[in-house]
Amino acid sequence: MRPPERQEAEEERQPATMSQIARRLKVSESTVSRALAGSPLVKAETREKVEALARELGFSVNLNAQRLKRRRSQTIEVVIPVEEYGRQHMSDPFFLDMIGALADALTDAGYDMLLSKRTPWAVDAEGRPRPNPLLSGRADGVIIIGQGRDQSQLRAFAAQHRQVVVWGDPEVAGDYLLVGVDNRAGGRTATEHLLSRSRRRLAFLGDPKEPEISQRCEGYKDALRAAGMPVEADLIVPARFDAVYALETITAFLGKADPIDGIVAATDVIAMTAITALQQAGLSVPGDVAVTGYDDIHSARSASPPLTTITQRIAEGGQALVATLLGAIEGGPARSRVIEPELIVRVSSG
């Protein structure tokens, strides 16, 4: 048998606790707790002694105890339900921009960010639901990116909990807090822009099964109708989010369809993929075909050619999601928020 000292050294080192600090300083745990929390109740001299020893011992407050007692996790769960998105494998840079914006906003507000690819109502392999993030104290609120194809579960979940905010389309929304852009207006704006550049035969690339894409597609149809032009079903191509798959679809479409001179793409990634397909087919952008994207992801401006797009103001959207959610958590009158889409004209549209 080894000597106990050796054994202890091999064990997990136990972190220091408030009670240890209290004992060594001959004060109560209450005082240590108050001192470390910066309570004005404790004498400056006492606080300094406590802080000094805490630093010396490398003390970190036990967050699980603190959260249990305070009934607050100071954590927000951000859900990117990729299963819902036609298995796009989360590859769209839109998500990265959104994650970055949310991380910044949450950090500034003093919250930790939990990232999940599963919805709170998802069941695990054995068909059991995961612990509800809100009821289990895992998170104080949930941000869900995207409404998904089937909204019934989202609606049911949001009906149970006030601390839920969704990024999605205002028109499609149910009775839950939502931040998002008017996708129909954005789709219409993009289409009108191409029409104003004298493009006459416009395809829409994007899968209308997704609610947000569907709205963008409605905007495309609105603009065509307003211009007195026909809406041709053949020109609506259900390209997937994922560039690798979209490329096949678009290439096939270009081979089959009568020549087009404009493309309204449902996302920037689809737009860039379409440009690749066009160039491979020997067509120039914007010479032969003008292209608009949607999202204004970070790389849109350094694309080749730089992409005309509808900005979703992702940074602003992330801030609004956090502000709305924190409002709901504080119990205040949290309000949904519609962000206006805006056309950013670059080179790809001529």
User: What residue 26 binds from DNA, its own copies, none (CB within 5 to 8 A, per partner kind)?
Assistant: DNA
Question: 269 touches which of DNA, its own copies, none (CB within 5 to 8 A by kind)?
Answer: its own copies
Closest CA to 294 of 207, 198, 187: 187
Place of tokens 């607050």: 72
Residue 283 structure tokens = 């067509």
Of the listed pieces 206-214, 217-225, 258-266, 271-279, which binds its own copies according to CB under 8 A? 271-279
- Nearest to residue 17, comparing CAs of 39, 36, 40? 36
Angle at 78 between CA 312 and CA 84, to 5 degrees: 75
Q: Which does 17 bind (CB under 5 to 8 A by kind): its own copies, DNA, none?
A: DNA
46 or 91, CB closer to its own copies? 91
With 0-12 / 13-18 / 19 or more C-beta atoms within 10 angstroms meaning exposed / middle / buried, residue 322 is buried
**Which helix (H) or strand (E) is 185 found in, with range?**
helix 183-196
Q: Which stretch binds its own copies (CB under 8 A): 174-182, 223-231, 255-263, 272-280?
A: 272-280
**CA 13-18-19 angle, 5° bins:** 90
Query: For its own copies, which stretch binds (CB under 8 A), given 58-66, 166-174, 175-183, 215-223?
Result: 58-66
* Partner in contact with 34, chosen from DNA, its own copies, none, beta carbon below 5 to 8 Å by kind: DNA
**According to CB under 8 A, which one of 279, 336, 338, 342 is a site residue for its own copies?**
279
* Beta-carbon-side half-sphere exposure of residue 132 (alpha carbons within 13 Å): 8
Which residues form the interface with its own copies (CB under 8 A)?
15-16, 58-65, 67-68, 73, 75, 89-91, 93, 95-97, 99-100, 103-104, 107, 112-118, 131-132, 135-138, 243-244, 246-247, 269, 272-273, 275-276, 279-280, 298-299, 301-304
